[in-house]
Structure 1
C-alpha cells in the first residue's frame, strides 16, 4: 500500500494506507527523545540526586519523588490526550502537544538540574511528568491515526526499539556526563532536537468542520474518562493486564541501582556503569526481538499468545533476581527481561489499538490505557520501600562464605514475578482479538 497525502484523509477515518518511511523515522526520533527524558532521570539521575540531597534517607526521598511524579502522570496523560482529541488548530490535533510537551519537558529537566532540595526536586519531576505525558499522549495516538491495523505490530515494534534506545540513551547520558546537572541539561537538549523532524513533517490531519467536538462541557468531559467495562469488556481486560505487567516490571527496575550496591556489593562509583551495562543488554535484546515478533504477529493475525508468553518470560527475570542475587544472575535477568518486554511492547500495543471504543477519542482512550503504565509508578515505589523496610528489618542481608543474600530484595522480586504472571493470565479474557 502506498501513502496518501494528509489533505486527502479524514482525521477520524480508520487508516488504510501506510505512512511514508520518513514519517516513521520522524516519530521514531521523537519517541527516542521522549523516553530519554523519562528514563535518564528514572534510571540514574533521580537516584543520584536523592542520595546527594538526603543521604541515608535516599530510598524514602526517591519513593516520594517518583510517586508524586507518577501520580501527575496518571492524571495528565488521559487529560492531555482528551485535549488533543478536541484540538481544532489547522496544524492538527497531535502536533501542538508534541511540540509543547517537548519544550515543557526540557524546561522541567533544566529545573531539576538546579534543584538542591526535595521540594524543588519534586516540583521539577512533576513538571517533567506533566509535559512529557502531554507529548506521550499525542505520540501514541498518532499511530492509530495514521497506521493501518495490519501494520501496527511492525510499527509498534519500531517504536518499542525507539523506547529502548531512549532508555539506553538517557541512561548513557546520565552516566557519561559526569554530573547530575549536566545529565539533565544534555537530556533536555536531546529531547527538543529529536522532536524537530516530526514537528516539521507530522502529516497531522486537522478535524473537518463536521468532525469537531461539541462545545466543551465540564461534566461530560469528566464522565468521558470512564470507559464502562460492561460495554467495553475487552478494553477493561487490556487495561488490567497492562497494569499488572507494568507493576511487575516497575517493582523489578526501580531499585536496581540500590540492588547492585546493597545486595551484590558493587562499589558506589561503579554502580552507575553496571546499570548502564544491564540496560544496554536489555536494549540489545529488545532490538533483536521486537520488530521480528511484531511483524510475525501482523502476519499471523494473532496477538494474545504473544502477549501471554512475553509476560511469562519477563516474570522469569524477576524470579532470577529474587533467587540468584549475583552479577551473573543480573546479566541473565537482563536478557530475559529484554526478550519478554520486547515482544510485549510491540504486540500489546497493536492489541490495544484494536480494542479502543472509537476513533474520535483515540488519544483520550489511549491515555486511559496509559494510566495502566503510570499507576504502577505510583504504587511500586511505596510497595517496594515497604517490603524492603519491613522484611529487611526482620532479616536484613545475610552473608555466608562471602555470598550475600537479601531477604528483602528476594521478597520484592518474588512479588514482581507473581504480579507479572497474573497479568499474563488475564490476557486470556480478551475475546475480540485473536
Structure 2
C-alpha cells in the first residue's frame, strides 16, 4: 500500500489514465447482491462494535467505576471517542483516496480498521480505571472510523445514482442490525461488560470477511496515487463547505443527528429514572432497552428499504428527507409527554420509521452533492463528521437538561426542535430534487 508516488517509479501513462479513470469515474453498472451483502455485513459489524458499548456497556462500566457520577463519566468517555472520530474519519478517508494496492483503495483500510478496533475492544474489557477506559474507547473509534470511512466511500465508487438510495437503505439495514446486535450483546451478558466487549470485537472482525473477499475494489497504480498534502487536507474541511448544496446537506445531517442522539443517549437511564420501569412493570431497564431497540430496528429496516426504493423510483430525495426528519421530531415529543412504558414503545416505533427513511435517502442525497470524485473518501469523511460530532455535542446539551433544566421532558422537546431545523434546511439544497 502506498499513499504517495514510489521514488524512481516510471509508470506507463496510458495504464495510469486507465486505472485512475476506472477508480474515479462515475459508476454506471449496477452492483450485484454479493457485493451489497458484503457492505451490509461491514456496516453490521462496525455498528455492533460502536453501539454495544455506546448503548449499554460503557454505561455499565461508568456505573461500575462511580455510580454517583455515571452520567458524567459516560459523557466524558463518549465525547472523547467522538472527538477522535471527527479527525479519524476524514483522515483515513483521505488516505484511502490515495492508497495504491492490488487489493484496491478501500479494502486495506477496512481490514486495518477492523483489526485495530477489535484489539482496542479487548483492551477496553480489562480497563482498570476511567483514564484507560477513555483511551481504549478512543482507539476503538479510530479503528472503526477507518473501516467506516472506507466502506462509506466504496458506495459512490461502485453504485450508480439510480441504485444508490436502495443500497443506502440496505446499508442502513446493516447499521440497524448492528445496533440491535449490540443491544442484544449488552442484555445477554447481564452486566458482564468485559465479556460484552469481547463479543463486540468478534462481531467486528466477522463482519468484514465477505467484503474483503467480494470487494472488486478498483485499484490505483502506485504511480497514480496523489501525494498527501497536509495543508490541502486541513483546508479540505472548509473547501466542501464552499459548495452550497454540500454545506446545507452537511448542516441538515448534523442537526438531525444531534436530535437523534439526544433521544437515544440516556435512554437506558430514562427507562430507569423517568419511566421507573422496574417499579411499574417489573422489567429490568436493560431488558426494556432491548425491547425498544428491537422495535426501533424492525421499523428502521422496513422504512429504510421502502424509503430507499421509493426515492430511487421517483428520483426524489428532498421531500423524503424532510418528511423523515419531521417524524423523528415527533418521536421525541412522544417520549417527552408520555414518559411511560407504552409511550416508550410508541416513540421507538415512530423513531424507527423516521430514521430508517432518513438514513437511506439522505445518504443518496449526500453522494450526489460531493464536490470532487477524486476526494470521495475524504469528503465523505467530512460528511461523517456531521454524524460523529453530535456524539460530542449531544452529551454536552443533554446533561444539563437532564440534571438541571427540567429533566427528560425538556430534553426531548429540545431534541424535537433541533431535528425540525434540519428538515427546514433541506429546502436550501438546489442541485437535487
Q: 1:396 — aligned with what? A: none
Name the residue aligned to 1:365: 379
- The answer for the alignment partner of 1:244 in structure 2 is 255
| Per-residue Cα deviation, 1:270-306 (whole angstroms, up to 9, x for no partner) | 1111001000000001111211110110010110000
Evaluate the alpha carbon distance shift between residue 423 and residue 112 of structure 1 in structure 2; reply closer, same or farther with a 3 A threshold. Answer: same
> TM-score with structure 2 length normalisation?
0.93
Which of 155, 177, 184 does residue 189 from structure 2 map onto? 177
How many residue pairs were aligned?
412
Distance 2:59 2:97 in 1: 35
Deviations 1:320-351, CA, capped at 9 Å, x for gaps: 11111111111000011000001000000000
- How far off is 1:130 after superposition? 0.8
Aligned partner of 1:189 in structure 2 is 202
Name 2:427's counterpart in structure 1: 428
User: SS state of the match for residue 22, structure 2?
Assistant: coil
Task: State how far apart, in whole Å, the 1-side matches of 2:352 and 2:166 are.
Answer: 17
Q: Which residue of 1 is the match for residue 156 of structure 2?
A: 144
CA 1:49–1:206: 2 relative to 1, 3 Å: same
Residue in structure 1 matched with residue 269 of structure 2 by the alignment: 258
SS in 1 for 2:75: helix
The answer as to 2:212 corresponding to 1:199 is: yes
* Residues 161-200 of structure 1: CA deviation (Å, up to 9, x unaligned): 0001000011101210231111111110111012111112
- 1:103 equivalent to 2:115? Answer yes
2:241 and 2:87 mapped to 1: Cα distance?
A: 20
How far the C-alpha of 1:210 sits from its partner, in A, is 7.2
Q: 5 Å matches for 1:185-334?
A: 185-208=198-221, 211-213=224-226, 215-230=227-242, 232-267=243-278, 270-334=284-348
Q: Distance in 1 between matches of 2:105 and 2:366?
A: 21
User: How many Å apart are 1:209 and its aligned residue?
Assistant: 6.3
Shift of 1:137: 0.2
Contact 2:20–2:220, Cα closer than 8 Å, also in 1? no
Q: Check whether the contact 1:246–1:372 (CA below 8 A) recurs between aligned residues.
A: yes
State the 1:111 CA deviation.
Answer: 0.9
2-side partners of 1:221 and 1:362: how far apart? Answer: 13
Q: How does 1:71-90 map to 2 (within 5 A)?
A: 71-90=83-102
Is the Cα contact below 8 Å between 1:12 and 1:211 reproduced in 2? no
2-side partners of 1:166 and 1:228: how far apart? Answer: 30
Higher mean Cα deviation, 7-16 or 364-373? 7-16
Selected match of 1:354 from 361, 368, 376: 368
Aligned counterpart, 1:399? none
Distance 1:228 1:240 in 2: 12
Indicate how the Cα distance of structure 1 residues 8 and 61 shifts in structure 2: closer, same or farther if over 3 A, else same: closer
Question: What CA distance in whole angstroms lies between the structure 1 residues aligned with 2:355 and 2:320?
Answer: 11
Where do 4+ consecutive residues of structure 1 move more than 6 Å? 6-9
**Contact 1:11–1:208 (8 Å) recurs in 2:** no
Whether the 8 Å contact between 1:144 and 1:353 is mirrored in structure 2 is: yes
Q: Which runs of 5+ in 1 are unaligned?
A: 1-5, 392-406
Contact 2:169 2:359 in 1 (8 A): yes
Moved more, 382-391 or 343-352: 382-391
Instruction: Give the match for residue 55 of structure 2.
Output: 43
2:35 paired with 1:23: yes
Distance 2:236 2:425 in 1: 25
Is the contact made by 1:297 and 1:306 (CA closer than 8 Å) also made in structure 2? yes
Q: Assess if the C-alpha contact under 8 Å between 1:14 and 1:148 holds in 2.
A: yes
> What is the match of residue 342 of structure 1?
356
Backbone CA RMSD of aligned residues: 1.6
Deviation of the 1:21 alpha carbon: 1.3
Contact 1:19–1:147 (CA under 8 A) maintained in structure 2: yes
TM-score, length-scaled by structure 1: 0.92
CA contact (8 A) 1:115 1:121 kept: yes
Gaps of 5+ in 2: 1-17
Return the alpha-carbon distance in structure 2 between the equivalents of residues 126 and 223 of structure 1: 24
Note the C-alpha offset of 1:7: 8.4
